[in-house]
Amino acid sequence: MDRRSHALAAVLAISLAGSAHATVVARDAWVRGMLPILHETVAYVTLTSTEDAKIVAVSTPLARRAQMHASNVTGGVMHMEVVDTLALPADTPVQLKPGGTHVMLMEVARMLKPGDTVPIEFTIENAKGQRSKLEVKALVRPLAE
């Protein structure tokens, strides 16, 4: 291989490596309906990644703040704590679900009604530290579900 071909191959290899991201698939994304007096709600989804990765941030244009929270019971009392990162082990569905880890949407800009769609953007980081975005469309379900 001549010098020019070798240099081109090196640039191509770097470009391909830079574009390699975990593929994350979202299923069953939904948001709990809201009470008219509150300006927050929760979102749930099941995420499956093709390689080890983690969620490092979450946002939505419909809320001033979005955070991942984990629910736990201590001394018979339910508590929530902020989760900064959430591991997505390769080929293992990770459920954000009621009573467990979920996305908290705070200071929601408008009342979300059943049938509305909420765009939620997850920032995913792979094992090499490369980040990508995953936009999920979550359907608002009635409050009682």
Q: Give the residue among 10, 117, 24 at the shortest CA–CA distance from 62.
A: 117
CB 118 within 8 A of CB 60: yes
Neighbours of 52 (CB within 10 A): 14
Tokens 């200071």 belong to residue: 107
CA-based end-to-end distance of the chain: 64
pTM of the model: 0.82
Q: Three-class SS of residue 9?
A: helix
Digit-by-digit pLDDT tens for the chain (145 residues) are 443 333 333 333 333 334 456 799 999 999 999 988 889 999 999 999 999 999 999 999 999 999 999 988 778 887 889 999 999 999 999 999 999 999 999 999 999 999 999 999 999 999 999 999 999 999 999 987 6
Domains of the chain, residue spans: 22-141
pLDDT in tens, 21-55: 679 999 999 999 998 888 999 999 999 999 999 99
Q: Which residues contact 51 (CB under 8 A, 6 or more apart)?
A: 22, 23, 90, 126, 127
What does the pLDDT read at residue 21? 64
Given 3.60.20.10, 2.60.40.1890, 3.40.640.10, 3.90.850.10, which CATH number is that of 22-141? 2.60.40.1890
Structure letter (DSSP) for residue 3 = H
Structure confidence at residue 20 (pLDDT): 55
